[in-house]
Amino acid sequence: MARLFLGIAIPESVAVRLTGLQGGIRGARWEPPEKLHLTLHFLGEVDGGTARRLVDALGHLESPAFDLELHGVGYFPPRGTARSLWVGVRRNPALLDLHRRTGRILERLGLDRDRRAFSPHVTIARLKQPDMAAVAGFVVRHATFSVPPFRVDRIVLFRSVLGKRGSHYRFEAVFPLGPKVPCDTP
């Protein structure tokens, strides 16, 4: 069994900009650049056979590459005590379409997926008993934060490996976006 999720890796140049936001909230566990990503679908524990079928199915995904722009900050849950800080995503029909297409693949394979409304974001910090005044101040200070658009030309099947110091992520498979070109070799 492997703990898997499907997402978009954040390019290093964008990750550097996101880590520049880090600070100002006591007790926040800020995400390192290598963990920054946008989750399309969290899958949870998946057995090896199902994971292989998923990799095969995603290898046939046809979805165009697109530009993505990160903009604004916020926290989850939106009411009550915050548990995570995030950077948002400007509305993007291509991203929503990619989420739908990959969701249909998961459904065909009988994989459970989160049924909540898709709220694309990049988690930048985990919070435990935060000072909500500091969280609110952070959100106000960075409300207009944005990053120039970057190209999304692949999606990644990530494995989340739990360790003593939290989880770390590993690429299980990478799937290019764009039309599939038929191979001419027999």
pLDDT tens per residue, range 151-161: 999 999 999 99
Tell which CATH classification among 3.30.70.141, 3.90.1140.10, 3.40.50.2000, 1.10.3210.10 matches the domain 2-176. 3.90.1140.10
Do residues 127 and 25 lie in contact, with contact meaning Cβ atoms separated by under 8 Å? yes
pLDDT tens-digit readout, 79-131: 889 999 999 999 999 999 999 999 999 999 999 877 788 999 999 999 999 99
> Count of CB atoms within 10 A of residue 95's CB?
21
pLDDT tier, 184 (very low <50, low <70, confident <90, very high otherwise): low
pLDDT tens-digit readout, 9-59: 999 999 999 999 999 999 899 999 999 999 999 999 999 999 999 999 999
Burial 73-87 (b: 16+ CB within 10 A, else e): bbbeeeeeebebbbb
181 vs 56: which has the higher pLDDT:
56
pLDDT of residue 183: 54
pLDDT tier, 69 (very low <50, low <70, confident <90, very high otherwise): very high
Query: Is the bond into 77 cis (omega within 30 degrees of 0)?
Result: yes
